[in-house]
Amino acid sequence: MKIKRLLVLLLSAMMILSLAACGGGGEEASAPEETAAEGGGTLMMATTTSTEDTGLLDYLQPLFKEATGIDLQWTAVGTGEALKMGEDGQVDIVLVHAKASEEEFVANGFGVERFPVMYNDFVIVGPKDKLMETEDVASVFGAINAQELPFVSRGDDSGTDKKEKKIWEALEIDPARNPNYIESGQGMGATLTMANEKEAFCLTDRGTWLKQSKDSETEYVIDIVCEGDPQLLNQYGVIAVNPEKFPEVNNEAANAFIEWITSDEVQKLIGEYGVEEYGQALFTPNAGTDN
């Protein structure tokens, strides 16, 4: 009997130890998941076609992943649509270029705070044999309208489209009265392709123009005809979507991205991007300014 009781006790002890070991294994298995969560998971961003068309995001994405463990994914659309995605809580963060619309986005409670990141400028491209080069955007737009020259607009409520419409409005010109004025309804790259095919004028950000005109397999017959006008400044800002309005957003990852992209180290990388390939930077960093 004593031997039998001893065997029962030994078996019970072994079962207890076995259950304890299983419990310990479960805790160890969950640890990597906690580490991954702390690493950030996925950051969903709505941004403009220019940040994608220039290759900037493809350049920054692996660096951000290496630094934070966060997987940056994005949808590239016009600024208007990108902000709408933020307003609908479809993304965690927006990176766009229409300051007035961005400030309205924050004022209406959809975004937390706007941070300037970088800028480049807009340029007008078109057939050089039609107009003389100038720094005066008003004279170029005026001549296009007066001579009914072909012009391809994005017409997609993007930051570029907003800038173009603002220039026409300031000149009190309705561009739609020009029979050769058309709207592509597409991103910057596709709009530039259309303008080149039609030998038409077009407003574009410099970064997309530099990359597209150099890397395209198609020869470009249009070129820059207007640059340097102060009103052609193209400022980009980043805004985290408001977690108080949309609790499901990854606000931690959004804040990590903002801190990362506005850091001195990454600002330097942005300022160097494109120099070797295109002879000049595609963007100028300016985090910490009031632009």
Query: For the chain, which residues make up each domain, given as ranges?
Result: 39-120+240-285, 122-232
User: What is the pLDDT confidence band of residue 216, given thresholds at 50, 70 and 90?
Assistant: confident
Least confidently predicted of 7-16, 63-72, 139-148, 240-249: 7-16
Q: Do domains 39-120+240-285 and 122-232 have the same CATH topology?
A: yes
Q: How far apart, in Å, do the first and last CA atoms of the chain sit?
A: 88
| Domain 39-120+240-285: homologous superfamily in CATH | Periplasmic binding protein-like II (3.40.190.10)
- Does the pLDDT value for residue 37 go beyond 60? no
Q: Which of 216, 223, 160 is nearest to 188 (CA)?
A: 160
pLDDT of residue 15: 37
User: Topology of 122-232 in CATH?
Assistant: D-Maltodextrin-Binding Protein; domain 2 (3.40.190)
- Counting beta carbons within 10 angstroms of the beta carbon of residue 272, is it exposed (0 to 12), middle (13 to 18) or buried (19 or more)? exposed
CA-wise closest residue to 261 among 98, 119, 115: 115
What is the spatial distance between Cα 71 and Cα 248, in angstroms, rounded to a whole number?
17
The yes-or-no verdict on residue 266 having pLDDT over 90 is yes
Predicted TM-score of the model (pTM):
0.81
